């Protein structure tokens, strides 16, 4: 086992594991940040989405070793001073049903708004493609992203 130095939500941390230990398990099990969810384990659903150096990645398919020395942001660290504009919009739009995929949805949407602060509907749909919601909350997800881009 090796030890890896990461910065998670602005805090320097050490995690241990084999070279192929998924970042998801380091974040959830070693750091206790359980907002990032295990969905499919194959990088297909997006429930485990976090940011590594500002890029949305599937943490079930990203090794903790590959995140060493990089800045990792989880849903818990997204809002620097309270709730992020997306989290506020998610609440206002009553977006979540079961809520399981929502942290991954928000993290993917945050990547979009960081790059394109005022995306149009087509850009939102295209960017969010691949993040799955078993409850079918897609129209509310789009509305929440639109609201966050307006109110951000």
CB 144 within 8 A of CB 112: no
Provide the 10 A C-beta neighbour count for residue 69: 10
pLDDT above 80: residue 21:
yes
Residues 110 and 127 in one domain: yes
Average pLDDT, stretch 64-68? 97
Instruction: Show which of 53, 76, 99 is a domain's final residue.
Output: 76
| pLDDT value for 142 | 98
Residues 64 and 92 in one domain: no
pLDDT above 80: residue 140:
yes
Domain of residue 27 covers 2-76
Residues 104-125 pLDDT 10s: 999 999 999 999 999 999 999 9
Provide the 10 A C-beta neighbour count for residue 55: 11
Instruction: Show which of 55, 76, 97 is a domain's final residue.
Output: 76
Residues 71 and 89 in one domain: no
Q: Whole-angstrom Cα distance, residue 29 to residue 37?
A: 11
Counting the structural domains of the chain, the total is 2
């Amino acid at each position: 086992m090796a030890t890896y130095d990461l910065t998670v939500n602005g805090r320097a941390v050490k995690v241990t594991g084999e070279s192929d230990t998924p970042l998801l398990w380091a974040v959830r099990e070693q750091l206790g940040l359980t907002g990032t969810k295990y969905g499919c384990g194959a990088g297909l659903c997006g429930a485990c989405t976090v940011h590594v150096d500002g890029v949305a990645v599937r943490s079930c398919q990203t090794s903790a070793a590959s995140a060493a020395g990089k800045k990792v942001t989880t849903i818990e660290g997204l809002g620097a001073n309270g709730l992020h504009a997306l989290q506020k919009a998610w609440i206002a739009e009553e977006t979540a049903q079961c809520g399981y995929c929502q942290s991954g949805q928000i993290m993917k949407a945050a990547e979009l708004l960081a790059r394109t602060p005022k995306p149009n509907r087509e850009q939102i749909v295209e960017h969010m493609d691949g993040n799955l919601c078993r409850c079918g909350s897609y129209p509310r997800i789009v509305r929440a992203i639109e609201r966050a881009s307006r109110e951000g």
